[in-house]
Amino acid sequence: MLLKNIVLNKRLNIFIVEDEPLICATIETALKKQGFKVAGDADNVSEALSAINTTQPDLVLVDINLDDYKDGIDLAVELDKKSIPYLYLTSQTDPDTIERVKTTKPLGYIVKPFTEAGLRSNIQLAWHNFSLTTDDFFLIKHEGRMHKVNQKDITYLKAYDNYCYINTKVNQYLVPHTLKHTYEKLNTNYFIKSHRSYVINVNHITSIDTKIVNLGSAKIPLSTKHRAELKRHIS
């Protein structure tokens, strides 16, 4: 599903990383009571990464202090690489840990001990802030996971029957909407059709040939019908 923002009462699918079994069980119970889904849980980084890759949660709750040679900050670094949103679960931490936390990009922090209401409000507020932006982001549901994609990073879109591929330099997403429907949601300052089956981001154009628009290594068809309009748009 392609959205400019996301409704707060969406049943978020949440994965828990916590090494205290009692606390983990408490969190799971609280999440379910508050209307969230629980994708699973793990008590160490390696198991968490494997399970997160399998379960594709919307959000991860990460305990900073794990009883393992890797802690929650190590996990957060990996989640940042995968652009998977997460919240830290934390109690008071030492200055060295705080400095390491500053190198990561959590949606926020849930301070232990917490109440059910506090857990719910922290998650909802963090997700709300995640879904809002002033810089043309889409939230795209792809293969069961929500992805936040900046329109400026989109290189081109390609029609695929009643679906549409959204391509960036590093990823490709298949969304259950037509090219026309998706195109209507885009910023017209830098998106334009080059062909009946393609929409390109003009900011990524490296050169234009007679029948091809080059977007770096990507070669996109350019039809006679759309060539003049593209040149006018660039001018």
Domain region containing 31: 2-131
Residue 18: predicted pLDDT: 96
**Domain count within the chain:** 2
Residue 2: predicted pLDDT: 37
Where does a domain end: 83, 103, 131? 131
Both 154 and 126 in one domain: the answer is no
Both 168 and 125 in one domain: the answer is no
Both 150 and 202 in one domain: the answer is yes
What is the C-alpha separation between 191 and 214, in angstroms, rounded? 15
Both 155 and 109 in one domain: the answer is no
Both 197 and 123 in one domain: the answer is no
What is the C-alpha separation between 183 and 163, in angstroms, rounded? 12
Model confidence, pTM: 0.59
Where does a domain end: 112, 131, 150? 131
What is the C-alpha separation between 97 and 102, in angstroms, rounded? 9
Both 90 and 178 in one domain: the answer is no
Residue 132: predicted pLDDT: 62
Both 162 and 224 in one domain: the answer is yes
Q: Write the CATH number for 38.
A: 3.40.50.2300
Both 48 and 91 in one domain: the answer is yes
Residue 104: predicted pLDDT: 93
Both 161 and 120 in one domain: the answer is no
Residue 87: predicted pLDDT: 95
Both 6 and 74 in one domain: the answer is yes
Residue 223: predicted pLDDT: 94
Each residue's pLDDT, cut to its tens digit, for the chain (235 residues) gives: 333 333 334 578 999 999 999 999 999 999 999 889 999 999 999 999 999 989 889 899 999 998 888 999 999 999 988 888 999 998 867 788 888 888 999 998 998 888 888 899 999 888 877 766 545 777 787 777 778 788 888 999 999 999 999 999 888 999 888 999 889 888 887 899 999 999 999 999 999 988 999 999 999 999 998 988 888 877 6
Both 29 and 50 in one domain: the answer is yes
Residue 44: predicted pLDDT: 95
Residue 235: predicted pLDDT: 67
Where does a domain end: 131, 165, 193? 131
- Tell me which DSSP letter residue 187 carries: -
Q: Compute CA 212 distance to the chain's CA centroid, rounded to the nearest angstrom.
A: 31
Both 65 and 124 in one domain: the answer is yes
Q: Write the CATH number for 169.
A: 2.40.50.1020
Could you tell me how many residues make up the chain? 235
